[in-house]
Structure 1
Amino acid sequence: MTQVHTAASLIGLWRAHLADNRRRSLHTVRAYIATAERLTEFLAEHWGEQANAARLSRASQADLRAYLAARRGDGLANRSAARELSAIRAFLGFAASQSGNDAAPPRLKGPRLKRSLPRPIAPDDIMALGDAIAGRNGPVWVQARDWAVLLLLYGAGLRISEATGLTGDVLPVGETLRIIGKGGKPRVVPVLPQLREALTHYAALVPFPLDRDKPLFRGTRGGPLSPALVRRAMMNARRLLGLPEDATPHALRHSFATHLLAGGADLRSLQELLGHASLSSTQIYTQVDAAHLLDVYENAHPRA
């Protein structure tokens, strides 16, 4: 016989499921639990009865619309509403599994979100960032490490997690790197001579053994290099140079894509290099390039 969980006991199970089974971050767990608590409190009042697992598994589209309307009245913005709806769907699916109900949560179209365009960093500014990062005080091998990571982001278009996730088996560096991207999807990226030189130079200086199955990039104590340290180094460098706050490590990947497209790369090739599952994710760079060209025209053309 299936146990009937109260809202409180269900949320307790949901918390454990997120933290232990799904390995969600503490921040995500807190956000999902807060949503579940708001939802069950609202629905109990809305229905005039307890919002236990069995009742939650029968929630309708109209119920969810009423909840979101109430949240909108509290000033919830579109992007936050989309995140909240995602958390609701996950929670209701969990409630259904706990009640023995195989029905899927009601489908509800989320708010339309304005897709923001990534802002590329000018090549001269990227080189200045590299000089600032590599030229700061500290061990020479750390400077070599940070320069190599920066070149991986801009010269190969890697995500920061992909760069810091490389292991010693990439050595010796050849003409390509095999990258495991999002969802475990592999791809091969070419290695420019400057990038090969930077990686080889770092490998020669790092004071820790670079075993094939161990992280390539190390912190000062020998552990894996944290992406947070890369972001912090980039933040300090951009502030030193007076660059905008959106000059982030991920903006280097955007710059890689935008500059390749401006140089004549086709979208399919760019999709492969970036590891995008869908071409629609790559097509946003056509808008970035057009916006960049318009800026150049407006700033430089005498009749603009």
Structure 2
Amino acid sequence: MSGTILVHASRDLLEEKAAWLATLQNERNASPHTIASYERDLRQFLVFLTDYHARPATIADLADLKTTDLRAFLAGRRRDGAGARSLGRNLSGVRAFLKHLEKKGLASTAGARAMRAPKAARSLPRPLAVNDALEVAEEAGSFALEPWIAARDVAVLTLLYGCGLRISEALSLPGDALCDEAARSMPILGKGGKTRIVPLLPAVLQAVGEYRRLCPFALSPQEPLFRGARGGPLRPQIVQRGMARLRGALGLPASATPHALRHSFATHLLSAGGDLRTIQDLLGHASLSTTQNYTAVDAGRLMSIYRDAHPRARRRG
């Protein structure tokens, strides 16, 4: 019977799904990536319910949803090869839609709230060593055929490491960003439409200034700061490809990606005595638990502090 039903939900349920996605976009300012993920998670669940009941899923099915139904859904996804992280995201998407229905009196989230998300193995950040991070930023333009592209590549990677930016944040900067050589900070629009303030090091301003001087294209506020070879927006794939060539030349591991420079920014700040709350703000993490991953990366420094500071760890003369 599975796979024979093409319509995976009733019309009114699909209308509620569309209304929910519109709310995420218009009222909560969710990113296109987040909306696409939620849509996929809910579609997978509705397809499961359709097969489960041998008919298109309805709002009544969600109103009567039981914990056993959710367990069956996650079990099926696991059989299809989904890992714990994907299963947790699936459950989160279903919960979010049920909450939307609950506000309208159409369903209850009780069954979904009773479900515990599968535990995912914690993936620790993999930063570069300090010397490697500095060398990456300095040598970023080594493979460029034109001086302005070399300066651009240096500026981008210096931003990622010097300010802890996501690659999407760096590439979305407008053409008039970082014009003021006396600036010591700048606002960054991050995930979820949240703005944070990041500090600006002289090395960052110098690298971007050199790129500005050499760039052959007009860098207007309406256009992106970083350009591709033909003048269009610089694509993340170009930065990632350049980083792959660079790590090959420098003998760095495959984990040395553009995003690893953001991890390096956080880990090196922690090593130098930065506190987690400050690093959380600089990275734009919504939860401190995300930032706390860096304490595991830098466990050696924390143990050293413990040995030096704890009264019972001190040696008596």
Q: TM-score range by the shorter chain?
A: 0.7 to 0.9
Separation in 2 of the partners of 1:156 and 1:165?
Answer: 14
**Which stretch shifts more, 229-238 or 124-133?**
124-133
Give the conservation status (yes or no) of the 8 Å contact 1:40–1:51. yes
Superposition RMSD on alpha carbons, in Å? 3.3
Separation in 1 of the partners of 2:38 and 2:266?
Answer: 34
Residue 232 to residue 34, structure 1, CA distance change in 2 (3 Å) = farther
Separation in 2 of the partners of 1:24 and 1:36?
Answer: 20
Residue 74 to residue 205, structure 1, CA distance change in 2 (3 Å) = closer
Given candidates 118, 137, 143, the residue that maps to 1:136 is: 143
Q: In the alignment, which residue of structure 2 is the partner of 1:302?
A: none
Separation in 1 of the partners of 2:185 and 2:250?
Answer: 32
| Alignment map for 1:204-283 (pairs within 5 Å) | 204-283=213-292
Deviations 1:20-40 (A, max 9, x none): 885745974884376135412
| Alignment map for 1:1-304 (pairs within 5 Å) | 7=9, 9=11, 22=25, 24=32, 28=37, 31-32=40-41, 35-36=44-45, 38-44=47-53, 51-73=57-79, 76-90=82-96, 92=98, 96=101, 101=106, 103-104=108-109, 106-107=112-113, 108-167=115-174, 168-173=176-181, 174-290=183-299
Give the conservation status (yes or no) of the 8 Å contact 1:121–1:252. yes
Structure 2 residues not aligned, in runs of 5+: 1-6, 26-30, 304-317
Structure 1 residues not aligned, in runs of 5+: 295-304
Identity, in percent, stands at 44
Give the conservation status (yes or no) of the 8 Å contact 1:217–1:225. yes
What secondary structure, in the 3-state scheme, does the structure 2 residue paired with 1:64 have?
Answer: helix
What secondary structure, in the 3-state scheme, does the structure 1 residue paired with 2:186 have?
Answer: strand
Separation in 2 of the partners of 1:291 and 1:80?
Answer: 32
TM-score after normalising by structure 1: 0.79
Residue 89 to residue 279, structure 1, CA distance change in 2 (3 Å) = closer
Give the conservation status (yes or no) of the 8 Å contact 2:178–2:208. no
Separation in 2 of the partners of 1:18 and 1:131?
Answer: 47
Separation in 2 of the partners of 1:124 and 1:141?
Answer: 25
